[in-house]
Chains A and B, each alone.
Chain A
Amino acid sequence: MRYQRVCANRARPLKLAGDIARHANDSRFVRTANAVFEEEIQKRELAGAEIVAEIRRQASLRSTQQIVRHIRDDAHAAIDVLADLVNVLALAVDQVRARSAQLPQPRGSSRPINLLSRD
């Protein structure tokens, strides 16, 4: 989809040239009208790009709002999940500490190996 869009944009100058040629055999007044249109449509396309950007902004805003709304609606459930997570982590820390204490001390060190240490 993205690739097609890029290709379509690249093809635009050729398309414009084709559009101008489409009225090449018309009266002078129609050719003037066509030239005015070509000039003005570029402004419109810029405006169109702004509209698309605004739609995307609104869409992303809407999804953010939906996420916030879901979190707000399910606040209690979220707190329970977080509490469980904290308990699991505390249990894991205790177990790692206990394993560390059972390991032999490194040679030349007075301290036991600490599995939780970053050293």
Chain B
Amino acid sequence: MDIGGEVPVHTILESYNSLIRQRIISVIKQTRPCRHLYEPLAKYLTRGGKRIRPALCLATAQAMGGSVELALNSAVALELLHNAFLVHDDIEDGSEYRRGQPTLHAEYGLPMAINVSDAMSAIGARLLLDNRALLGSELSWRIAVEFEHLGRQSVEGQAMELGWIRDNVIELTEADYLRMVLKKTCWYSTIHPCRIGGLIASLECEADRFNRFGFFFGAAYQIQDDILNIVGEQEIYGKEICGDLLEGKRTLMLIHLLNACGSEERQRITRFLAIPRAQRELEEARWLRAQMLDRGSIKYAESCAVDLARAAMKESETAYARGYPGPRQFIRGLVQYAIERKF
């Protein structure tokens, strides 16, 4: 695939998307049990989504002199694992909507949703095994090691966030939030996709060069996601607005608000976070949202996301030094896209 420097980001993203969609369809065997496994699986995977992770992997492979064909299995495995995480995440958070449609567990029930999610991980593992014939033992094994690390970091980050909610932890700093985001989001969403792409281009590639760029990019992406959850439009965003507030998620906005508000408001927020999720009322979540707007918490988070995106762009010069200009420009555009997106 040829990446021209002048082509808009969303056009290139759509080209990658098309390759990924085709590969996904080709690996899903429409055999039995179809109605209770492969059919909902295919339906879910073809719902759409931005597919930034596999695009980042493919573009990095190209930027560093590799080919899309060699990176496609790993890129699709990243997308499958991401979708498996999403299904579990929606169950853990009690979310109702994903990509503008009911979440998988809302549509098919918990047992089937969990099983479909497990199937996504299993198919992803198959693709990684197929890498051996394509890339050789050493590189495919190295990629498997990268996957093990990203998987482990993600579940550890998720455990941090779930633990804060479960134990009703209030005293959190921005550094705590960033540490959690690095684990929960950045390793698997941005850092490892770049590392894997780089390694596929050359096993001699120093994969650590992408770490800082990936962290800043991933954190900016996560903050924008948290912002959209509060001020986005449900039809475009695809998830229920204020869902994070009802779940009691410790976002950058919440940490900012807890430090910016008066003692009365702080007590009210603490009380809201202490009650079980099922008992939290939408009215109270809306009050919390209004507080975030009034106290400048949303604006603050927006400025943090922009600052991080700028830092990521600066880092991209080091990470992709001597890389091909077309894919490099696309990756820089992707950072911009991540903080400007509405979904």
Instruction: Name the CB-closest residue of B to A19.
Output: B212
- Do residues B215 and A37 form an inter-chain contact, with CB atoms below 8 A? yes
A23 touches B179 (CB 8 A): no
Please tell me if the beta carbons of B307 and A58 are within 8 angstroms of each other in the complex. Answer: no
Q: When chains A and B are docked, how far (Å) is the Cα of A35 from the Cα of B176? A: 12
Q: Is A36 touching B308 in the complex (CB atoms < 8 A)?
A: no
Q: Main SS of the interface on chain A?
A: helix
B304 with A29: CB separation less than 8 A: yes
Cβ contact within 8 Å between A33 and B215: yes
Identify which of residues 7-43 in chain A touch chain B, using a CB-to-CB cut-off of 8 Å: 19, 22-23, 26-27, 29-30, 32-37, 40-41
Q: Mark B192-214, 1 if CB is under 8 A from A, else 0.
A: 00000000000000001001100
Bound form: Cα–Cα A26–B149 in Å: 30
The answer to the question of A44 belonging to the interface, with a C-beta cut-off of 8 Å to chain B, is yes
- Nearest CB in chain B to that of A36: its residue: B178
Minimum CB–CB distance from B91 to chain A (whole Å) comes to 28
Note all chain B residues with C-beta closer than 8 A to A23.
Answer: 311
Q: Tell me the complex Cα distance, A35–B179, Å.
A: 10
- Name the residue of chain A whose CB is nearest to the CB of B137: A62
- Per DSSP, chain B at the interface is helix
A30 to B310, CA, bound (A): 9
Count B-side interface residues using an 8 Å CB cutoff: 22
Which residues of B have CB within 8 Å of A34?
212, 311
Chain B: CB-nearest residue to A45? B208
B174 within 8 A of A: yes
B182 on interface, CB distance cutoff 8 Å = yes
Whether a CB of chain A sits under 8 angstroms from the CB of B216 is yes
CA of A37 to CA of B248, assembled, Å = 26
CB distance from B316 to the nearest CB of A (A): 13
Given the known interface contacts A29-B307, A29-B308, A30-B311, the answer about A37 and B212 at a Cβ–Cβ threshold of 8 Å is yes
Determine how close the nearest CB of chain B comes to the CB of A98; give it in whole angstroms.
57
- A27 neighbours in B (Cβ, 8 Å): 303-304, 307
- Asked if A35 and B175 sit within 8 Å, CB to CB, the answer is yes
Given contacts A26-B307, A27-B304, A32-B178, 15 further A-B contacts (CB under 8 A): A19-B212, A27-B303, A29-B304, A30-B307, A32-B174, A33-B178, A33-B219, A36-B182, A37-B211, A37-B215, A45-B208, A47-B149, A48-B208, A55-B142, A58-B141
8 CB contacts below 8 A, A to B, read: A19-B212, A26-B307, A30-B310, A33-B311, A36-B182, A37-B211, A41-B211, A44-B211
> Which residues in A have some Cβ–Cβ distance to B below 8 Å?
19, 22-23, 26-27, 29-30, 32-37, 40-41, 44-45, 47-48, 51, 54-55, 58
Q: A-contacting residues of B (Cβ < 8 Å)? A: 141-142, 145, 149, 174-175, 178-179, 182, 208, 211-212, 215-216, 219, 303-304, 307-308, 310-311, 314
